[in-house]
Structure 1
Amino acid sequence: MIRPATPDDVAIILDFVRDLATFEREPDAVEASEAMLADALFGPAPAAEAVIAEDASGPLGFALFFHNFSTWTGRRGLYLEDLYVTPAARGKGVGTALLRHLAAIAVERGCARFEWSVLDWNADAIAFYRSMGAVGMEDWTVQRVTGDALRRLAVSG
């Protein structure tokens, strides 16, 4: 079963985020707190949404997503920030169910695109995404400015 996350899910979402960061070889990179996630997901101006995959045993994974916008299509898209399935639930269709659920949300909301990033070393995930119809954006690279560089950029000029 996949359902919208509720404020009661914030602790498990943060646990899943930490597990994902460990898997992605960045265990110390998570700065988010429960309070920050609660505000981002359920505060007065939510920045993102999340869904929980679960069965009778409890939560099996989650997906966190938000809308972006394409000037080329003139429509918004759905951007998947995080997808995580517990090791015990992998290979049982949970990831597929989460992606299909989000694709349905994107179609229902009139989105032109459903996008996400994947680490280039994660061959299993890339193969899984290709099997679902995803196409790699080979000519594009992600650019990021954080920390001191972000602060310098903000005051330069």
Structure 2
Amino acid sequence: MSIIVREALQTDCQGIMDLIMGLAVYEKMEDKVKMKLETLQEDGFGNEKYFKCFVADRQENGASKLIGYALYYFTYSTWEGKCIYMEDFYVSPEYRGKGVGSRLMGSVCKIAVEKKCARVQFSVLGGNKPSIDFYKRRGAIDMTEVEDWHLFRLTGSALEKLAANSNTV
């Protein structure tokens, strides 16, 4: 058996969807997943690409199976310049503790270094102690603890209401 970390291909989307559901189950939020396979394919591999992704691909006896992924996109800080936001990071439970997560996260960090990004940023559920410990062991800083930053979100009617009040043409 070998495990290869590589850039995702459009043909990986079903495997990525399976991993997205694995992450949602792990976080006890499977009812929150609204993503459809076609949307993932279009948004990541269509004419306008909204994300990039690395996958961990287990290869054994000629068979291939995705066992982890790190999905990210570029953002911008007016204080520091280019950044990466890692939206999702997940390794199937039976492959944790084997270096797969470090390789996936390292691949995202390598892109950040190559592109001269100021940082890689991500969110973690407060109760997800194993993941928080994993990130802290790798030098990540909990911005809520250190600088009291809080994550906010606009959705649904609040999003639509503010969009309707826009003065842009």
Please tell me the TM-score bracket, short chain as reference: over 0.9
Equivalence for 2:28: 25
Q: Tell whether 2:134 aligns with 1:125.
A: no
Distance, in Å, in 1 between the alignment partners of 2:101 and 2:149 is 25
Contact 2:83 2:117 in 1 (8 A): yes
- TM-score scaled by structure 2? 0.88
Q: Deviations over 1:94-132 (max 9, x none)?
A: 111111111111001111111111011111111110100
* Residue equivalent to 1:67: 74
How far is 1:153 from its partner? 2.2
Letter in 1 for 2:10: P
Question: Identity rate of aligned residues, in percent?
Answer: 38
5+ residue gaps, structure 2, are: none
Q: Which amino acid aligns with 2:70?
A: A
1:149 and 2:158 are equivalent in the alignment: yes
Describe the SS at the equivalent of 1:133.
coil
Matched positions, count: 156
Amino acid at match of 1:136: D
Matches within 5 A, 1:1-157: 1-57=4-60, 58-73=65-80, 75-138=81-144, 139-156=148-165
Deviation at residue 23 of structure 1 after TM alignment: 1.2
Which blocks of at least 5 consecutive residues in structure 1 are unaligned?
A: none
Q: Which amino acid is the alignment partner of residue 68 of structure 1? A: T
Shift of 1:147: 1.2
Q: Deviations over 1:29-76 (max 9, x none)?
A: 111111100111001110000111122242210110000001101x21
- Look up the equivalent residue of 1:98 and give its one-letter code: L
1:56 alignment partner, SS class: strand
Tell me whether 113-122 or 19-28 shows the greater mean CA deviation. 19-28
Tell me the secondary structure at the aligned position of residue 125 of structure 2.
coil
- Which TM-score applies when normalising by structure 1? 0.95
